[in-house]
Amino acid sequence: MLGIAESAKGEDEFGYRGEFISLIGRLQAVARANIAQATRSADAEAREPLVAAATPPKAMSRHQITFDDYPPVARRLGEQGTVKVKYLVEADGSVGDCDVMTSSGSQRLDDAACVMVKRWVFRPAMVTDGTPVAMWLDADIAFQLN
């Protein structure tokens, strides 16, 4: 359609042809963007981790908060709180993504929670045929000063 509009001959007394060509160009750009977004969404859904498996992930490392896990500035400022995180246990047992679902009220503690969680190691979730799969889990990380 754009080709037809651009190749039109004759006078354009009111300048509508240029406006029409511009409008078609913008519509095509929006259509391309929508198609690209739909493709990305379909790809993401195809890779979406499981929320249930025959055997869930099993922790292979300790999940206790150590002195080194507590941010030094947060300790000095007396910051405490609980961070609720959602994290992805990958098919290899490592933790991939980590998202803060409920903040502790301290950005330092929220960031430290995900740093800590990403060091955790798991035996991955398995489906019934024994194939390891990625799976989302959640945890409450409580930072408390003693």
What is the amino acid identity at position 39? T
Residue 66 belongs to a domain: yes
**b or e along 50-61 (b: 16 or more beta carbons within 10 Å of the residue's beta carbon)?**
eeebeeebeeee
- 113 and 74 fall within a common domain: yes
- Residue range of the domain that includes 81: 58-143
Tokens, residue 134:
């990625």
What is the amino acid identity at position 68? D
Q: What is the pLDDT of residue 117?
A: 95
- 8 and 35 fall within a common domain: yes
pTM of the model: 0.63
Residue 53 belongs to a domain: no
The predicted-structure confidence for 9-52, as pLDDT tens digits, reads as follows 667 666 666 777 676 777 676 667 777 776 665 555 545 565 55
Q: What is the pLDDT of residue 107?
A: 94
CATH number at residue 107: 3.30.2420.10
